Amino acid sequence: MKTDTLEVPGARLYYEVRGSGPVLLLIPGGPTDAGVFAGLAAALADRHTVVAYDPRGNSRSTLSELPGDDLLDLHADDAAALLALFGDEPADVMASSGGALMALTLAARHPKRVRTLVAHEPPVVELLPEAARQREISAEIYDTYVRHGVGPAMRRFMEVSGLGGTAEAMPAPPPEAQEVMARNLDFFLAHTWRAFDGFTPDFDALRSGGARLVVGVGEGSEGQLAHRAALALAARLGAPPVVFPGDHGGFGERPEEFADLLHQVLRGS
């Protein structure tokens, strides 16, 4: 694995590169970073040049200025800048959860950069029948963060999203990793949460852009908020979703199986 950084407006991005072959960019969601894709990247490195990175504000990707309301656009531009390091040809992208919202914005803003986008459980809750209620809940979570801090706000988020059991089953990270996650969670709730709230894909730009769009769902996350939102997105795009191994974080739980299916999807089979 090779690591490096890239200067972009307002931030310095940390990224990792493994393997050889067609370029595949992995975009993590929420408060996570390139580390969540370690197993998946290793499993794909014999078939792809795998690029994973920490989105600005997370972990090793530091800020020189705080973002404004254009954070989602900045994330998309960051991803495009990373892909530009690897040539002018369109590349494949696999993005998870909130990272898939970044990737959908990338495909809309920079269509020539994306060949195939696999959006794994993007929380496009605006496409759900209860979108108005979800906006109210999102406001409640942000208000909880402002009034009571990260812990209570994240507990409410995990409850609403249906991810509580998944988080409880994960082993506790070492102390230094807990410190990094605490900072990431604070940035997530202070900035990312509001930037992503009410997100709706630019369907006109996506249709005219030419990128192949694939929606993924986890076989073990049925009924969860992001799973249902992904199904709504797939229906809107007019293509059935691809069912991947595991749940919302299946790429981490079962990386080799996930990698094999992802490779097949990217090959168009």
In the chain the beta strands, taken as DSSP E runs, fall at 2-8, 11-18, 23-27, 49-53, 62-63, 91-96, 114-120, 212-218, 242-244
How many angstroms separate the CA atoms of 177 and 214, rounded? 32
Segments making up each domain of the chain, as ranges: 2-128+200-267
What are the tens digits of pLDDT across the range 46-76? Answer: 999 999 999 999 999 999 999 888 999 999 9
Residue 164 DSSP one-character state: H
- Residue showing tokens 């908020």: 225
Domain 2-128+200-267 part of CATH 3.40.50.720: no
CA separation, residue 234 to residues 108, 202, 252, 268 (Å): 16, 14, 23, 17
Q: What is the DSSP letter of 20?
A: -
Three-state SS for 201?
coil
Reported pTM: 0.94
- Rg for the chain (alpha carbons), in Å? 17
pLDDT digits (tens, 9 = 90+) for 82-136: 999 999 999 999 999 999 999 999 999 999 999 999 999 999 999 999 999 999 9
